[in-house]
Structure 1
Amino acid sequence: MKLELIKPIKALNKAYLKEKVSRNHIELFKKNLQQLLSRINEQESEEHLKNVIADFLKDTWYKDQFEINTKDRNDLVIHTGKTTKDAVGVILEVKKPSNKAEMMTAAKPNTKALQELILYYLRERFDHNNTDIKYLVVTNIYEWFVIDEVWFEKNVFRNSKLKKDYENWKL
């Protein structure tokens, strides 16, 4: 399994590059990003960071549009609608900035963070039959690894050995 790191400019759909962003949206993003960074306490638990990230996402983009919360054992999810009854569209795995051993890096993607993300993905796909997932994210607030679900579909969901191992593990 190999992850290819690409710059955001290459990852963005070209249609988004043509979209105009208002000055108000830029200022809101800047204000909320500053607030996010000021609220980070690296000594706090992951639970604390989940709340900080959820507040940032809600206040910047998703308030009154999408539910952001934990789900089962998943650190954070963004639902495709306004309630927790709507399908999960984004799965986030959050690590403390000081937890370098479990946080994935470009040089070392196979870490506990990625392994947990794979588990959460398999639960959504197999146990909940969820085909609405679009992105999977690993973050420690300072670093963000956003992985397109297409990569997970190809390398995780269609991996017959991994499927079998997951089914055996569930028993």
Structure 2
Amino acid sequence: MGQLSPRQALSSSYRQAAVGDEELRHFTQALRGLLECANEGQREEELKMHLRDFLRDTFYAPYRIGVADGDIDLAVRLGKGKNARIGLIVEVKSLANRDEMLAPSTLNRKALHELLLYYLRERVANGNTDLKYLVATNALEFFIFDAQEFERKFYSNQELVEEFEAFSAKRKVNSKTEFFYREIAYPRIGAIEAELDYTYVNLRDYQGYLSATSPASQARLRDLYRLFSPTHLLKLAYHRDSNTLDQEFYH
């Protein structure tokens, strides 16, 4: 499949979920705020805060959001507790940092190397089987990877897992993360880069829809709303028959 649009990424049942006018208005207001804040002159730390605020202001106030052990820029935990398992990992790059940020034509860059390291730490070292998605973003472009895709393409590669374990145990010639990115992540990702499925969103493409009232514009915004919702990104249970969200998690 490769690159997916927001609509393609949504489950067939959730694509039909009703999004109320007031909910959509609140989401577009927060989206407008993020678009206004994100610019080339901002440092990565500033963008992290803007992105955190966007997530909190839209859907994720009931969840613990912030930095996490192991250099994760932003993690959304599956609950409010500090020990709740991480469900969503976000790697943030500044808009000026084009060399490290992913591009649709080139996924094998540092932001993905970092996501792979954080995934392996959570999955292998911490035994976290509740990861849902991993995201690389500069606050405008979003590359969203399903954790199940990482499970298939990376965790199932026993040689990669053994390499990670040797690196973590400092049994390699170098224990710096740059060594992992260059010598382990880069070749492994390169070998399967063309097979990686991900969702790509550029929020700048939605600026023209924010003030538009046509059905087509509203439909695009509703798909974006669904994509960023915890029903999708945290894989909450969704009951199509009642168009309501079950607030229990899949653990």
Please indicate, yes or no, whether the TM-score normalized by the shorter chain is above 0.5: yes
1:99 aligned counterpart, secondary structure: coil
User: Residue 76 of structure 1 aligns to a residue in which SS?
Assistant: strand
Cα distance in 1 for residues equivalent to 2:39 and 2:10? 31
Residue number in structure 2 paired with 1:121: 119
Q: Which has the larger radius of gyration?
A: 2
Shift of 1:117: 0.3
Are 2:48 and 1:85 equivalent residues in the alignment? no
Higher relative contact order (CA 8 A, sep 6+): 2
Could you tell me which residue of structure 1 aligns to residue 196 of structure 2?
none
Which runs of structure 2 are paired with 1:44-59 in the superposition (5 Å)? 44-59=42-57
Among all aligned residue pairs of Structure 1 and Structure 2, give the percentage whose two residues are the same amino acid.
39
Partners of 1:40 and 1:19 in 2: CA distance: 30
The offset of 1:42, in angstroms, is: 2.4
Give per-residue Cα distances to partners, 1:102-128, cap 9 Å, x unaligned: 011111000000000000000101121
What is the 5 A alignment of 1:1-171? 4-63=2-61, 65-72=62-69, 73-170=71-168, 171=170
Give the superposition deviation at 1:155: 0.8
1:82, CA displacement in angstroms? 1.2
Normalising by structure 1, what TM-score? 0.94
Contact 2:40 2:96 in 1 (8 A): yes
With the length of structure 2 as denominator, give the TM-score of the two structures. Answer: 0.65
Q: Which amino acid aligns with 2:65?
A: I
36-45 vs 124-133, which moves further? 36-45
Structure 1 stretches of at least 4 aligned residues deviating more than 4 Å after TM superposition = none
Segments of 5+ residues of structure 2 without an aligned counterpart are 171-251
Q: After superposition, what is the alpha-carbon deviation per residue over 1:12-58, rounded to whole angstroms, capped at 9, x for unaligned? A: 01111121101111100111011111222422321111111010000
The CA distance in 1 between the partners of 2:93 and 2:29, in whole Å, is 23
Amino acid paired to 2:81: T
User: How much does 1:156 deviate?
Assistant: 1.1
* Number of residue pairs matched by the alignment: 168
